[in-house]
């Protein structure tokens, strides 16, 4: 099971540009701390956190602006992160593969298409598919159910503390691959610096 943003695709810069455009469009000065605050959060949660951070009172409007800005960035394309293509290709057809992402489906589909991974995953579960996105376990429990997979025999790769907590709460074995240095990884069972460190053959043998 894979997260998407910051794990398979390098969309964090795109999100950063979108968030900055929204903050400055609201007449507020850009603060790089926004990136850390919003990392890995679902759409509604991110809008609420940003509204509180900016001392504004309309998270719904902020959410609409964030989605529009992010969609514009994603339509320009996002690159595949190092090691992601090799790992997915090495596991495809040999294990059920899923994506569990806090992105809305329209953004997830744009990201997956931009790196030519359409049709690769057996299940893709997005924030708009569940009542409670990460850090709740719902995305992972739903994806495991769709795949017919036992969470206790499943592995999740995550880049954000929010995602690591979600996967662990769902009962998966969690590999943390932080997209930003210094991020907490206490919810991960193992931590790597890049997906390039994961050998598909070794992973299959360990299963």
The residues assigned a catalytic role are 3, 5
Q: Is 108 in contact with 101 (CB distance < 8 Å)?
A: yes
Per-residue tokens: 100: 């569990």
Q: Is 5 in contact with 139 (CB distance < 8 Å)?
A: no
- For the beta carbon of residue 170, count every other beta carbon within 10 angstroms: 24
Residues paired with 80 in a beta bridge: 9
DSSP label of 79: P
Q: Is 167 in contact with 141 (CB distance < 8 Å)?
A: no
The contacts of residue 86 (CB under 8 Å, 6+ apart) are: 195, 196, 200
CA angle, corner 186, sides to 181 and 191, nearest 5? 60
């Amino acid at each position: 099971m894979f997260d998407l943003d910051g794990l398979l695709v390098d969309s964090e810069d795109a999100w950063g540009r979108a968030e900055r455009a929204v903050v400055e469009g609201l007449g507020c000065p850009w603060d790089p701390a926004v990136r850390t605050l919003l990392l890995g959060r679902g759409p509604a949660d991110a809008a609420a956190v940003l509204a509180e951070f900016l001392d504004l009172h309309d998270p719904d409007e902020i959410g609409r602006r964030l989605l529009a800005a992010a969609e514009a960035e994603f339509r320009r394309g996002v690159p595949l992160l190092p090691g992601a293509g090799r790992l997915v290709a090495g596991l495809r057809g040999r294990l059920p593969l899923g994506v569990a992402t806090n992105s809305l489906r329209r953004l997830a589909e744009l990201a997956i298409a931009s790196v030519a991974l359409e049709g690769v995953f057996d299940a893709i579960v997005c924030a708009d598919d569940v009542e409670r996105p990460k850090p709740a376990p719902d995305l992972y429990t739903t994806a495991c159910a769709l795949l017919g997979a036992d969470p206790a025999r499943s592995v999740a790769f995550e880049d954000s503390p929010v995602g690591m907590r979600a996967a662990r709460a769902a009962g998966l074995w969690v590999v943390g691959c932080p997209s930003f240095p210094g991020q907490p990884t206490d919810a991960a069972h193992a931590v790597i610096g890049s997906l390039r460190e994961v050998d598909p053959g070794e992973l299959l043998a360990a299963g």
